Amino acid sequence: MSQTDTVTDTGEIASVSGPVVTATGLNAQMNDVVYVGDEGLMGEVIEIEGETTTIQVYEETSGISPGQPVENTGEPLTVDLGPGVLDTIYDGVQRPLDVLEDEMGAFLDRGVDSPGIDLEESWDFSPTVSVGDTVEPGDVVGTVPETVSIEHKVLVPPDFEGGEVVEVNDGEHTVTESIVVLDNDEEVTMHQEWPVRQARPSQEKFTPTEPLITGQRVQDGLFPIAKGGTAAIPGPFGSGKTVTQQQLAKWSDADIVVYIGCGERGNEMTEVIEDFPDLTDPKSGNPLMARTTLIANTSNMPVAARESCIYTGITIAEFYRDMGYDVALMADSTSRWAEAMREISSRLEEMPGEGGYPAYLAARLAQFYERAGRFETLRGEEGSVSVVGAVSPPGGDFSEPVTQNTLRIVKTFWALDADLAESRHFPSIDWTESYSLYKDQLDPWFEDNVAGDWPEERQWAVDVLDEEDELQEIVQLVGRDALPDDQRLTLDVARYLREAFLQQDAFHDVDTFSPPEKTYEILTAIHTYNDEAFAALEAGAPIEEITSIDAAPRLNRIATQEEYEEYVEELEAEITEQLQALY
């Protein structure tokens, strides 16, 4: 929202308490955007009681004082939507940081603003409608080559009535110029504004039935997420939340990625901002930023702006969903967002809930995650928004309020473990605590597109890992050698599951991405070793000879093989031959 917006009313500041400002004499409605103080700091109305209006300010409030003016725009907080959103880095209220840096350097002045997209840049518009055609809200009227990777579809805004096309203007236009005129005098431009707290409309919300392929074996193989699904990644400091989300942003088969750094440490967000523009999209060979939008809001930025950055990101995601794209949104982290709500709530002197968080924490989390899903758009196409939210529980305590309330909402839970991270096991997803409620509805897709026995193979791996977890308690008491031979063999098989299947090297050119077919082949190779090894044990072969065959350690090398099918076929034959030779 630009500072040139019409001012509809003016009041004055009554009190200032950190990011919370109260004003009197202001004729405002809930969620109206206002400009506070002599410097015009952007804020949003969050409470109205009698003559007193309470505002959360999205910038540092030092220096403003009672008596200074408050100007009301009469409009809610909106985002600018149109070509130019991709390959851009924004702050929490959609100010383009690269544009502001060019104007004033690395340190931004207070009270400055800039449109979310360049209103002066021209785009080559190619119409898909002709004079005489009838269009409705959500219909595509033309396309624009937004980036080398994404074709931007220009939509009739959802709040238009629609009608017959009476004029079409192709060629080079700015986003504010009329490109299609309807018979009711409605003019379609490439620029839309949409309130961030209002979900964009759709025709229908479906049950997700197709997986979001992440290329990470522990996620695709054991705990999958659907396109249009929701997932949480909780974990203590240093367990790999940001790294895991960056892997998902790079490798998931979503068309568009919206990455929100919500209140994260400045060095982590700096790494993202520096690395992403240099990364290559492995699927197209184009820059990864050509299909990515970054929203950077660090821990040293005003706390109230964290609250808005989540809504800014999800609204951008819904915009591209309406074009029929599959969008993946990474929120890192929702704990910092919840802390912003706690800060504002305490300034308002509201009755605190558990952990000092506001009583409406669960409702706000649900409002955010429920905007994910697989939808039929207004024009009848399918699009999806998948939301992956990192959670940063203090000390890794999953019983704290943000984690627990998130678990009640999301359907995939990737629990990160600091001990696994310290032992250099990545992704450090704890297979004993993690789960996915999408497995049953995604199994038909895996059966049709990967292998008919995918669910059985996955369940076998889960059973072996569960048994290993139980046996480890006994091993710690009496030692491994005290176990019966069959249990020692189970531990050996589980070790290969952990090392060859669950572990993955993000820095290896081949192993960084594992397609579902390769994930399945690795699992079946380990299963083959398991079956042949137990057959040899039952036939009387010594356990020491079984576990020391030459072929078994080669299971750990499957992940790094480009031509893995032939490698697995040869390896399974060798394992079978060597084990059968023992009896």
Q: Phi first, then psi: what are they for 335, rounded to 5°? A: -65, -40
Residues whose CB is less than 8 angstroms from the CB of residue 502 and which lie 6 or more positions away in sequence, other chains included: 217, 218, 222, 425, 429, 431
Q: Is 256 helix (H, G, I), strand (E, B) or coil?
A: strand
Has 283 been labeled as part of a binding site? no
Has 241 been labeled as part of a binding site? yes
Q: Phi first, then psi: what are they for 456, rounded to 5°? A: -70, -40
Note if the bond before 333 is cis, omega within 30 degrees. yes
Note the helical H segments in 171-237.
Answer: 217
Burial label for 171, CB within 10 Å (0-12, 13-18, 19+), is: exposed
CB atoms within 10 A of CB 50: 6
Largest Cα–Cα distance in the chain?
92
**Helix, strand, coil distribution of the chain in percent, nearest 5:** 35, 25, 40
- CA gap 217, 456 in Å, rounded: 16
Distances (CA, A) of 110 to 55, 59, 196, 272: 17, 7, 22, 25
Residues whose CB is less than 8 angstroms from the CB of residue 473 and which lie 6 or more positions away in sequence, other chains included: none
Task: Report CA Rg, the chain.
Answer: 27
Q: Phi first, then psi: what are they for 326, rounded to 5°? A: -95, 120
| Range list of β-strands (E), 61-107 | 69-76, 78-81, 88-90
Are 545 and 516 contacting, i.e. CB atoms less than 8 angstroms apart?
A: no
Q: Which two tokens stand for residue 475?
A: 């091993």
CB atoms within 10 A of CB 282: 13
Are 261 and 295 contacting, i.e. CB atoms less than 8 angstroms apart?
A: yes
Question: How many angstroms from the chain centroid is the CA of residue 146?
Answer: 22
For tokens 């893995």, what's the residue?
Answer: 564
Report which of 210, 214, 176 is spatially closest to residue 193, judged by C-alpha positions: 176
Q: Phi first, then psi: what are they for 43, rounded to 5°? A: -145, 175
List, as one string, the DSSP characters of 366-391.
Answer: HHHHTT-EEEE-TTS-EEEEEEEEEE
Distances (CA, A) of 353 to 16, 166, 200, 390, 400: 24, 57, 31, 22, 12
Are 296 and 265 contacting, i.e. CB atoms less than 8 angstroms apart?
A: no
Let me know how long the chain is. 583
Has 239 been labeled as part of a binding site? yes
Q: Which two tokens stand for residue 41?
A: 């700091």
Has 18 been labeled as part of a binding site? no
Are 317 and 327 contacting, i.e. CB atoms less than 8 angstroms apart?
A: yes
Q: Which two tokens stand for residue 454?
A: 């995918």
Are 208 and 374 contacting, i.e. CB atoms less than 8 angstroms apart?
A: yes
Has 237 been labeled as part of a binding site? yes
Q: Which residues are part of a known binding site for ATP?
A: 235-242
Q: Which residues are part of a known binding site?
A: 235-242
